[in-house]
Chains A and B, each alone.
Chain A
């Protein structure tokens, strides 16, 4: 007889815990998000033309590229423990500099003393599928831990040109990179997610290539 209340208590606890998972398992949310990114850029670029490597060019010290503010957006659909996201990030950085030494870019030589304008332009599209393996809704608080797969497509070009009327030359290198990534997501929210902190980190490394990216955020 004493076993019966224990069974009822245990079943009640399981039902309460289960309902927390079931309620979030069938939750549906869709939305769009716009962001204003105060981005800084650094790095280098080198072309290889017919097997002949060009000059390694630092984006800031050699080409004078400046930091830019970037507007980007994201649409998402959250269905239970799965979240689907599509994000679009257009990037455009420009610079101007006077060459202190000769450079070769895309097989074209630019002599020293030349004033060059440079432009790095890319469009990045991310497609994510996220699965939250922990996603309970505990009323005043909620949290999630998940993993996601991302396919990033980068379509861009790098251009260096000289508008000198005596020597007008221009070289452009296009690039297209499909990049698969694996990511980890975590979040915690309070008061029906009025206050919430999230973080997503993803990356992929193969051969001499790699990409790592992340977006810790709060609201």
Chain B
């Protein structure tokens, strides 16, 4: 039997690598790192 079947813990890694070259703004942005999460689902 699962005590809390609607509740789940998770972990992972997330990264975003963005390069923008607009008229008035140029840049690169790299955001990355591990994450921990909790999920409630039916």
Binding site for B on A (CB under 8 A): 28-49, 53, 59, 67, 76, 91, 154, 158, 173, 175, 177, 194, 198, 207-219
Cβ contact within 8 Å between B31 and A218: no
Cβ contact within 8 Å between B33 and A213: no
Residue of B nearest to A154 (CB): B18
Cβ contact within 8 Å between A47 and B24: yes
Given A31-B42, A219-B8, A36 contacting B22 (CB threshold 8 A): no
Cβ contact within 8 Å between A35 and B37: yes
Cβ contact within 8 Å between A34 and B16: no
Cβ contact within 8 Å between B30 and A48: no
Residues of B within 8 A of A28 (CB): 42
Cβ contact within 8 Å between A33 and B37: yes
Cβ contact within 8 Å between B35 and A36: yes
Given A37-B33, A44-B28, A214-B15, A177 contacting B39 (CB threshold 8 A): no
Report whether over half of chain B's contact residues are helix, strand or loop; otherwise say mixed: strand
In the bound assembly, the distance between CA atoms of A28 and B23 in angstroms comes to 44
The smallest beta-carbon distance between A68 and chain B, in angstroms, is 9
Residue of A nearest to B20 (CB): A209
11 residue pairs of the A-B complex, CB under 8 angstroms, read A29-B41, A33-B37, A37-B33, A41-B29, A41-B30, A43-B30, A48-B24, A175-B25, A210-B19, A217-B10, A219-B11
In the bound assembly, the distance between CA atoms of A214 and B30 in angstroms comes to 12
In the bound assembly, the distance between CA atoms of A204 and B21 in angstroms comes to 14
In the bound assembly, the distance between CA atoms of A41 and B15 in angstroms comes to 10
Residues of A within 8 A of B29 (CB): 41-43, 59
B17 partner, pick from A33, A36, A46, A212, beta carbons under 8 A:
A212
Residues of B within 8 A of A91 (CB): 31
In the bound assembly, the distance between CA atoms of A213 and B16 in angstroms comes to 4
Cβ contact within 8 Å between B31 and A211: no
B20 partner, pick from A53, A177, A216, beta carbons under 8 A:
A177
Cβ contact within 8 Å between A38 and B12: no
Residues of B within 8 A of A39 (CB): 14, 31-33
The smallest beta-carbon distance between A123 and chain B, in angstroms, is 13
